[in-house]
């Protein structure tokens, strides 16, 4: 049996799956946690990958590996391949003013003065604090000495792939950095329309040019491991992918399919045959990991809203779910606006969360639990509307991510989203998609393997609750800024 492995280096943890390259059968898995925080030295991802690989029984017997990872994180390297400073992650909002500056600058040069539209037409997305390009501008403005030392910029999955190949701090080898089109499309300096880097935008942000990872097509070998590390010499490395594109590959999503992922981020992403350019900024026009596109709306507040609600109520996730399901739809008017980490969609980096509509009758643990689940889902339903407004086909909704393990989320998602929801068996779909890419690379085929990781799925239906969304819409803009 030939084996392949997939890695998901996500915000909170690193997961490894080992699968049969020919059938996709799951052979073994491993996992390790990442430290908390929105600014992290990449060595922690490497340490967690080493632990997760050990937990998975090693990768000595594996023929090909690919890495999926959290998108957008700024990994700045100097000429020796040393990390210049801690990576700013996708959910770090300090570069929000830099995003505004970049939009204003393109606006000043655009015939109609519309900088947001100019960016959407250039790279498919309007910059927000999450995108790498804004983090580079922040670096240029706030840490100019560090910015001057930047010789290459990579993303989390690029850096891990490079390290798996045998490169590392002090080894140089910047020209060996690789990436794929899905993750490149989230940088803010790669165009899904021309499939090329926009070095002018990189230079505009950072203040000078820098080496960028080579964009490797999904089914091509990105590198061969040198050996002596986690992999046997000669192990094939796929180009990897951004986590959302990897999940789409793992699920075998096709045009019309939409994934609702409830992890640290809340993501509504759809496979589309055509790229999007949403000047409103609600939908980012990313590429997928097969050659199609992955328009996506992403919130900063999803599973951690449930974590926070459970903490406030002194219960575990099962307890929170039971409480939420014991309260009526709409929580008798109690609305939780979930901007606990600021927000990206809509773009409110300085916002805070809020509880609205409190009355003696609805201030119970059950009502609060219900409001937390509904508020988090309403923000995702807004994202789904934004995708539809871009003409993206929406036919089948998949519910995935750690938060999909909550029965309340599974039960209320179809009601709030107003459509049936397909819930695949809980699994590591990002790592699975990376494993599927590894099998694709190993087979040297122009089509991905016929197997997917979707397995058994349950379709959940519920009567739509548009009144819940209407009430949320009244409340969602009523928040105070961060102190």
Ligand X SMILES: Nc1ncnc2c1ncn2[C@@H]1O[C@H](COP(=O)(O)OP(=O)(O)O)[C@@H](O)[C@H]1O
Specify binding-site residues for substrate. Answer: 71-72
Are 239 and 66 within 8 A, CB to CB? yes
Question: Is 243 one of the catalytic residues?
Answer: yes
Report residue 99 CA to chain centroid gap: 19
Alpha-carbon span 474 to 232, nearest angstrom? 57
71 — phi, psi (to 5°)?
A: -85, 165
Tokens 């690029």 identify what position? 158
Choose from ligand 5SP, ligand X, none: what does 298 bind? Cβ within 5-8 Å by kind: ligand 5SP
Tokens 């590959």 identify what position? 249
Short-list 346, 326, 330, CA closest to 338: 346
Q: How far is the CB of 117 from ligand 5SP (least distance, A)?
A: 20
Choose from ligand 5SP, ligand X, none: what does 405 bind? Cβ within 5-8 Å by kind: ligand X
**Per CB under 6 A, does 263 bind ligand 5SP?**
yes
Q: What is the DSSP letter of 168?
A: -
A 10 A CB-CB count for 343 gives 24
The pair of structure tokens assigned to 354 is: 């809020």
Of 213-272, binders to ligand X (CB under 6 A) are 263-264
Site string for ligand X, 442-471 (x = CB under 6 A): ------------------------------
**Rounded to a whole number, what is the distance in angstroms from the first to the last CA of the chain?**
58
Contacting residue, 5, 6, 11, 122, with ligand 5SP by CB under 6 A:
11
**Per CB under 6 A, does 401 bind ligand X?**
yes
Stretch in the footprint of ligand X (CB under 6 A) among 142-150, 212-220, 376-384, 403-411: 403-411
Short-list 454, 435, 430, CA closest to 6: 435
Choose from ligand X, ligand 5SP, none: what does 244 bind? Cβ within 5-8 Å by kind: ligand 5SP
The pair of structure tokens assigned to 309 is: 């609600």
Are 433 and 245 within 8 A, CB to CB? yes
Short-list 89, 100, 98, 102, CA closest to 130: 89
Are 250 and 433 within 8 A, CB to CB? yes
Short-list 456, 429, 405, CA closest to 19: 429
Contacting residue, 95, 125, 130, 301, with ligand 5SP by CB under 6 A:
130
223 — phi, psi (to 5°)?
A: -165, 165
Q: How far is the CB of 70 from ligand 5SP (least distance, A)?
A: 4
Stretch in the footprint of ligand X (CB under 6 A) among 9-17, 24-32, 52-60, 282-290: 9-17
| Residues paired with 295 in a beta bridge | 285
Choose from ligand 5SP, ligand X, none: what does 382 bind? Cβ within 5-8 Å by kind: none
Stretch in the footprint of ligand 5SP (CB under 6 A) among 191-199, 201-209, 260-268, 446-454: 260-268
Contacting residue, 117, 135, 304, 476, with ligand X by CB under 6 A:
304
**Per CB under 6 A, does 70 bind ligand 5SP?**
yes
Which residue number places its CB atom closest to ligand X? 402
Residue among 14 and 225 whose Cβ is closer to ligand 5SP: 14
Of 292-311, binders to ligand 5SP (CB under 6 A) are 296, 298
A 10 A CB-CB count for 483 gives 4
**Per CB under 6 A, does 428 bind ligand 5SP?**
no
CB neighbour class for 480 (10 Å; exposed up to 12, middle 13-18, buried from 19): exposed
Residue among 13 and 364 whose Cβ is closer to ligand X: 13
Short-list 301, 283, 273, 350, CA closest to 116: 283
Residue 241: half-sphere exposure toward Cβ, Cα within 13 Å: 32
Which H/E stretch holds residue 148? Answer: helix 144-149
Choose from ligand 5SP, ligand X, none: what does 307 bind? Cβ within 5-8 Å by kind: ligand X
Alpha-carbon span 381 to 261, nearest angstrom? 12
**Per CB under 6 A, does 185 bind ligand 5SP?**
no
Alpha-carbon span 431 to 15, nearest angstrom? 7
**Per CB under 6 A, does 239 bind ligand 5SP?**
no
Q: Which of 183, 243, 257, 278 is catalytic?
A: 243
Stretch in the footprint of ligand 5SP (CB under 6 A) among 259-267, 324-332, 371-379, 410-418: 259-267
Residue among 19 and 304 whose Cβ is closer to ligand X: 304
Contacting residue, 191, 265, 301, 452, with ligand 5SP by CB under 6 A:
265
Choose from ligand 5SP, ligand X, none: what does 406 bind? Cβ within 5-8 Å by kind: ligand X
**Per CB under 6 A, does 403 bind ligand 5SP?**
no
Alpha-carbon span 115 to 107, nearest angstrom? 3
Choose from ligand 5SP, ligand X, none: what does 356 bind? Cβ within 5-8 Å by kind: none
Interface ranges with ligand 5SP (CB under 6 A): 10-11, 70-72, 90, 130, 186, 243-244, 263-265, 267, 296, 298
| Residue positions annotated with a catalytic role | 243
Interface ranges with ligand X (CB under 6 A): 10-13, 263-264, 303-304, 306-307, 317, 401-403, 405-406
């Amino acid at each position: 049996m030939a084996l392949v492995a997939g890695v998901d280096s996500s915000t909170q943890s690193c997961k490894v799956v080992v699968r049969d390259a020919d059938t996709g059968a799951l052979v073994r898995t491993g996992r390790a946690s990442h430290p908390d925080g929105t600014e992290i030295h990449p060595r922690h991802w490497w340490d967690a990958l080493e632990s997760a690989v050990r937990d998975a029984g090693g990768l000595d017997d594996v023929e090909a590996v690919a890495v999926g990872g959290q998108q957008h994180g700024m990994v700045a390297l100097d000429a020796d391949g040393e990390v210049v400073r801690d990576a700013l992650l996708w959910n770090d909002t300090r570069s929000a003013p830099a995003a505004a500056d970049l939009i204003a600058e393109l606006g000043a040069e655009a015939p109609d003065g519309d900088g947001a539209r100019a960016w959407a037409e250039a790279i498919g997305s309007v910059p927000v604090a999450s995108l790498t390009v804004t983090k580079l501008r922040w670096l240029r403005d706030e840490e100019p000495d560090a910015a001057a030392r930047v010789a290459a910029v990579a993303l989390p999955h690029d850096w891990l792939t490079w390290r798996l190949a045998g490169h590392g701090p002090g080894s140089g080898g910047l020209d060996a950095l690789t990436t794929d089109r899905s993750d490149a499309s989230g940088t803010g300096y790669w165009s899904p329309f021309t499939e090329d880097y926009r070095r002018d935008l990189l230079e505009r942000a950072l203040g000078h040019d820098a080496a960028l990872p080579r964009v490797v097509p999904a089914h091509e070998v990105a590198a061969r491991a040198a050996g002596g590390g986690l992999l046997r010499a000669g192990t094939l490395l796929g180009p990897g992918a951004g986590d959302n594109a990897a999940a789409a590959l793992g699920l075998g999503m096709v045009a019309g399919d939409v994934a609702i992922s409830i992890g640290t981020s809340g993501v509504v992403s759809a496979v589309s045959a055509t790229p999007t350019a949403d000047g409103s900024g609600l939908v980012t026009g990313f590429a997928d990991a097969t050659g199609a596109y992955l328009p996506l709306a992403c919130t900063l507040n999803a599973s951690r809203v449930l974590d926070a609600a459970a903490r406030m109520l002194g219960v575990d996730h099962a307890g929170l779910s039971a409480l939420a399901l014991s309260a009526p739809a709409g929580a008798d008017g109690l609305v939780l606006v979930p901007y606990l980490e600021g927000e990206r969609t809509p773009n409110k980096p300085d916002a805070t969360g809020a509880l609205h509509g409190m009355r003696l009758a609805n201030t119970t643990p059950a009502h609060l639990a219900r409001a937390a689940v509904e508020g988090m889902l309403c923000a995702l339903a807004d994202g789904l509307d934004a995708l539809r407004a871009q003409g993206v086909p929406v036919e089948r909704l998949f519910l995935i991510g750690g938060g999909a393990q909550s029965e309340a989320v599974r039960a209320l998602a179809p009601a709030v989203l107003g459509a049936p929801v397909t819930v695949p068996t809980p699994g590591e779909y990002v790592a699975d998609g990376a494993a599927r890419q590894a099998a694709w690379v190993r087979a040297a085929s122009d089509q991905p393997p016929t197997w997917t990781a979707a397995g058994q799925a349950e379709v959940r239906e519920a009567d739509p609750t548009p009144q819940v969304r209407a009430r949320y819409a009244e409340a969602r803009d009523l928040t105070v800024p961060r102190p």
